[in-house]
Structure 1
Amino acid sequence: MKKYYFLFLGLSLLLASCSNDDNGIEPGPNPNPDPTADVAAQNFMWRAMNLWYFWQADVPDLADDRFTTNAEYTAFLESYPDPENFYYSICNNHREIVGSNAAIDRFSSENDNYKDLVNSLSGISQSNGLEFGLGTIGDTNDVFGFVQYVWPDSDAATKDISRGEFFTRVDGVQLTVSNYIELLYGDNSTYTLGMATVSNNTISDSAKEVTLTKVENQVEDPILIAETLDVNGTKVAYLMYNRFLSSFNEDLNDAFAKFKAEGATELVLDVRYNPGGSVNTSRLLASMIYGANTSDVYIKQRWNDKIQAEFSEEDLTDYFANTTGESAINSLNLNRVFVLATNGSASASELVMNGLAPYMDVIHIGEVTSGKNEFSITLVDDPGNSFIYNSDREGNINSQNSWGLQPLVGRNENADGFSDYTSGLVPDIALSEDLTNLGVLGDVNEPLLARALQEITGVSAKTDFTVKMPAAYFDSSRLHTPVKDNMYLENPLQLNK
């Protein structure tokens, strides 16, 4: 622990030592804006991104020598009055890079209230508990939604709505590509869904309506299902895991204790809707699957040149874990795992698959995954802590600037050095969900689970795997939280190892 503390402190001192004098004539990586300028948010964003951003060297406006005077720096900040627009102007996603190894940033995000961002990382949000995908109706701009699952103990759980149902309207208004965000994710805490039916691949409005209310500080338990199935005498653990949340690490470990006690010798890990989350939680889950082998490399971190130069290879290497930090890891010690993953599976979900691949057979059933192979950290206006959010330093955060950033700052590679899955991880067994037959999650006849059980037992399932109406969707409710589909380090540079 001590060596990480001093290295982290060194970064803080490095940042502080770059400060310019008040005359505004000395160039450097930490220019100071005119104190009378209204650019506190933009100044924080530039300084934080100049230090941490993964593609800092590829963004000209983030170069250490970009500004020769404080006046020039101030003018640059003032040229973007809207902090949100400023932030994305210095991300590596506002231009195409042709013939370059630098990938375009698809996932960095921000929030004008860092507390909302921090809460979301803990699974806390305003939600009615309904998770759904959104697709377009034919070649039109009209949009339909289909229910993927419902949170237990949520408002939606008390209403007549369930997995596999469809909707097309909100408060009587047809959903379209131009209005769905306002209607579903706007300030309306209560809305009424107009339901629909599907017949012969045609979606038709129905008279059924369901009114839902978003509840403040709703917390989703990411472990939707954890059951051991007895399939032709084989004990198969089935875990439907919907986000990597560190606040549920002990619950996750308890689920594996249950699997062990019930004699599970196989595992089906269902992350078909899991957009990611905590890197450390992914490490713990991988250890629960493979083993508490603390000498085996799980992942190696790759940061920008500035950060990478401050650390040795060993400092940036993470190993499988033998403890959650509170209790011993309950591991199944498997030599293979079946993973149900789709294009809705991203970041930490993909990380588990990639991190396990050098050590065991990872049989991927489903679709090509999202391709999110970078991790992020939470940054706030606390220069004394190198802008990294720390709940113990709330009093040190600039009270005049509430913005929080979640930029991509690094990439994880597995023990074989592989990290190039920007195009997604390709399934071993391709199978899309079928909107006409989504099935019941956790039921042995649900198509994706049934296909995994067929591989495990060698016995042909009774399920028909023909997909009549693929569950293709362009957006989902999972992506409309402050954290979206980020993979994040809760303790940057693995200070908690």
Structure 2
Amino acid sequence: MKKILILLVTLVCFSCSKDDDLNLPNSVNPDGSADVEVQDFMWKAMNFWYFWQANVDDLADDRFENTEEGRADYTTFLDSGNNPGDFFESKLQFIDDRFSFYNDDYRDLTNSLAGISKSNGLEFGLVQFQDSEDLFGFVRYIVPNSNAATVEIQRGDLFTGVDGQTLTLSNYRELLFGANDTYILNMANFNNGNISPNEVEISLTKEEGLAENPVFLSKSFTIGGENIGYIMYNQFTNEYDDDLYAAVEDLKSAGITNLVMDLRYNPGGSVNTTRLLASMIYGTNTEDIFLRKRYNEKLQEQFNDSQLEIYFADKVNGQTINSLGLTKLYVLTSTSSASASELLINSLEPYMDVIQIGGVTRGKNEFSTTLVDDRDNSYLYTPSRVNNINPDNQWAIQPLIGRNENADGFFDFTSGLVPDHPLQEDYSNLGILGEQNEPLLAKAIELITGATGKRDFTVEYPINIISSSKENSLISDKMVDDTVYDLEF
């Protein structure tokens, strides 16, 4: 039997040629004279992998007959949008799909999944003024070694404008996420509940290739006789798995018996990294189910249990995991905590007491994968096969292809995971990340030590964000199935 290493569980060994096109029922190719190569890739990849394929009439297996007339109809259909992006959004997506997307260059997408982006390193949230179209921003944190780290700006600072223009619902995307590599933030003061512009201006410049280590903070405390570990983790990025494990090892060496995982600004990422982190926290029994996958109907029935069930891990990049072996975990969340962050919570729930503190999470329970025009590899993006991607088509799509269930079969959290201890951030009192008095961490410490009633956690000015700096990141709200499997067919 031929052994194949792939980046996603697949049900058969696909050895399709470009003309074979995944052996789809009544597979039909477009007229070769039409400029629809990208759309043809999109349709065939979505017809095969899309989670809601059965709900989209235009993706039906029998949508186009394999006849001369059907070929003409298919070509006309593919050419019905103004461009491939318009075609993808208007023809191929289910109405309840909030998270599938595309990019005209797969390299931009894969770099984003690796934590590499064009950025000035300022991470912020945006809040709408009450009864107004105007917005203000607040600084969440600064990425080390970025442009923002070289100027006088810090967590908690407020701004109301960019380049002299007041931020509004209609212009903030263009001003903050547009083509302008350099912009000037117009800063603001907070006094007695009022936010008002001041004279301070901060110039920031986006830099190519900024790599953010998602392990932002890791430290330990001994408080009230309890040894407490704290990790602020801002993206599930598999390129930094060794850094993540090093942080966990350091905390284990420090003798911690309690762990606070701060995922409040973590928009998601790698499924495999999530599995590794869960194993570092809970245990390495490779017979314990971490998650079960559910694909579209025509794929699901062709999988066996061993291909659908993913287990806890005992190694990270070949190194044996020395797990913390905890029975309880404290997790800090907000509406910016999404996908892989939610997966960690949900998949650990059957095995340990997960205590959630903060805000309701985003509600992203589907996973995706990167698909490119590599038809001999079932359209799956595989780093070792970049030379096999059609050189005339560099587009990539990132469709939702399934849902993950925990060991108890639970997956229904599209409205978000509700915290056990609700506590919103307060823009008048954000606190210093990692410090014992920062409100969300302080609440976790109170619960761990049992020192209740010693602090007032009243939130005077709750943060209800409408957007954040990660909105423009391709990884935002994504759960990417990159788990490696060694399968025989």
Unaligned ranges ≥5, structure 2: none
> Does the residue aligned with 1:256 lie in a helix, a strand or coil?
helix
Q: 1:132·1:476 contact (CA, 8 Å) conserved in 2? A: yes
**Aligned AA for 2:54?**
A
> 8 Å contact 1:269–1:338 — kept in the other structure?
yes
Q: Find 1:154's aligned residue among 146, 151, 168.
A: 146
Q: What residue in structure 2 maps to residue 80 of structure 1?
A: 81
Q: Does 2:55 align with 1:58?
A: yes
Alpha-carbon distance in 1 for matches of 2:321, 2:22? 49
1:154-197 CA-partner distances (Å, limit 9, x unpaired) = 11111111111111111111111111111111111111100011
Q: Report if aligned partners of 1:18, 1:28 keep a CA contact under 8 Å in 2.
A: no
What residue identity is the alignment partner of 1:42? Q
Instruction: Give the 5 Å matches for 1:176-325.
Output: 176-325=168-317
The 5 Å alignment of 1:82-101 reads 82-93=83-94, 95=95
Residues 1:391 and 1:209: Cα distance change in structure 2 (over 3 Å): same
Deviation at 1:18, TM superposition (A): 5.2
Residues 20 and 57 of structure 1: CA distance in aligned 2, closer, same or farther (over 3 Å): closer
CA contact (8 A) 2:5 2:487 kept: no
The reply on whether 1:389 has 2:381 as its aligned counterpart is: yes
Please say if residues 378 and 388 of structure 1, whose CA atoms lie closer than 8 Å, have aligned partners that are also in contact.
yes
- Pair 351,113 (structure 1): closer, same or farther in 2 beyond 3 Å: same
What CA distance in whole angstroms lies between the structure 2 residues aligned with 1:361 and 1:266? 12
Which residue of 164, 168, 171 maps to 1:172?
164
Aligned to 1:101: none
Tell me which amino acid in the other structure corresponds to 1:67: F
- Which string of whole-angstrom CA distances, capped at 9 and with x for unpartnered residues, describes residues 387-423 of structure 1? 1111221221111111111110010000001111111
| Equivalent residues in 2 for 1:87-166, closer than 5 Å | 87-93=88-94, 95=95, 104-166=96-158
Q: Confirm or deny: 8 A CA contact 1:243 1:275 kept in the other structure.
A: yes
8 Å Cα contact 1:18-1:29 kept in structure 2: no
SS in 2 for 1:370: coil
In structure 2, the CA distance between the partners of 1:348 and 1:268, relative to structure 1 (3 Å rule), is same
Matched, 1:478 2:484: no
How many residues align? The count is 482
Match runs of 1:405-416 below 5 Å: 405-416=397-408
Q: Which residue, out of 10, 13, 18, partners 2:12?
A: 10
Q: Do 1:20 and 1:31's aligned partners in 2 also have CA atoms closer than 8 Å?
A: no
- Percentage identity across aligned positions? 51
Question: Counterpart of 2:85 in structure 1: which amino acid?
Answer: E
Inter-partner Cα distance in structure 2 for 1:5 and 1:255: 29
Deviation at 1:29, TM superposition (A): 4.9
Structure possessing the higher relative contact order (Cα contacts under 8 Å, 6 or more residues apart):
2
* Counterpart residue type for residue 340 of structure 2: A
8 Å CA contact 1:222–1:243 kept in 2: the answer is: yes
Q: Is the 8 A contact 1:237 1:259 kept in 2?
A: yes
Cα offset for 1:204? 0.4
Task: Give the superposition deviation at 1:309.
Answer: 2.5
Cα distance change on mapping 1:308 and 1:20 into 2, 3 Å = closer
| Alignment pair present for 1:45 and 2:47 | no
CA drift of 1:272 comes to 0.4
> Within 5 Å, which residues of 2 pair with 1:336-375?
336-375=328-367
Cα drift, residue 462 of structure 1: 4.7
8 A contact 1:131–1:150 mirrored in 2: yes
Query: Judging changes above 3 Å, is the alpha-carbon distance between structure 1 residues 52 and 175 closer, same or farther for their aligned structure 2 residues?
Result: same
- What is the deviation of 1:136? 1.2
Q: 1:42 to 1:11 in 2, by over 3 A?
A: farther
Q: Is the 8 A contact 2:59 2:92 kept in 1?
A: no
CA deviations on 1:66-112 (whole Å, 9 max, x unpaired) are 0121111001011113111111123444x4xxxxxxxx111111111
Q: Distance in 2 between matches of 1:15 and 1:374?
A: 30
Task: Work out the CA distance in 1 between the residues paired with 2:252 and 2:434.
Answer: 18
Residue of structure 2 equivalent to 1:98: none
1:420 to 1:17, Cα distance in 2 relative to 1, 3 A: farther
CA contact 1:366–1:431 (8 Å) conserved in 2: yes
- Distance in 2 (CA, whole Å) between partners of 1:445 and 1:365 is 15
Contact kept, 8 Å, 1:377 with 1:408, in 2: the verdict is yes
Q: Give me the whole-angstrom Cα distance separating, in 2, the residues matched to 1:208 and 1:63.
A: 57
| Contact 1:58/1:92 (<8 A) preserved | no
TM-aligned CA distance change 1:429 to 1:2, over 3 Å: farther
Partner of 1:24: none
Q: Which residue of 2 aligns with 1:454?
A: 446
CA contact (8 A) 2:345 2:354 kept: yes
Question: Counterpart of 2:395?
Answer: 403
Amino acid at match of 1:214: K
Contact kept? 2:281, 2:325, Cα under 8 Å: yes
Q: Rate the CA distance shift 1:20–1:182 in 2: closer, same or farther, 3 A.
A: closer
Q: CA RMSD in A?
A: 2.1
Tell me how far apart the structure 1 counterparts of residues 257 and 110 of structure 2 sit (CA, whole Å).
37
Q: Which one is further off, 343-352 or 392-401?
A: 392-401
Distance 1:137 1:203 in 2: 9
Aligned twin of 1:35: 32
Residue of 412, 415, 422 corresponding to 2:414: 422
Opposite residue 64 of structure 1, the aligned amino acid is: D
Deviation at 1:3, TM superposition (A): 6.3
Which amino acid letter does the alignment assign opposite residue 110 of structure 2?
V
SS at match of 1:84: helix
Contact 2:115–2:237, Cα closer than 8 Å, also in 1 = yes
Structure having the higher strand fraction is 2
Point out where structure 1 has 5 or more consecutive residues left out of the alignment.
22-26, 96-103
> Is 2:267–2:475's contact at 8 Å kept on the other side of the alignment?
no
Cα distance between partner residues in 2 of 1:474 and 1:348:
21
Partner of 2:428: 436
CA drift at 1:271: 0.1
**Structure 1 269/415 Cα, relative in aligned 2: closer, same or farther at 3 Å?**
same
Distance 1:15 1:477 in 2: 42
The 2-side partners of 1:153 and 1:177 are apart by 31
Contact 1:445/1:463 (CA < 8 Å) preserved in 2?
no
**Contact residue 145 and residue 168 of structure 1 kept, 8 A:** yes
Q: TM (normalized to structure 2)?
A: 0.95
Deviations 1:39-76 (A, max 9, x none): 11111100100010000011000000001211110010
Partners of 1:303 and 1:13 in 2: CA distance = 21
Q: After superposition, give the CA deviation of every residue in 1:294-331 in whole Å (9 maximum; x if it has no partner).
A: 11111011111222233201211111111013211131
Please, what TM-score do these two structures have when normalized by structure 1?
0.93
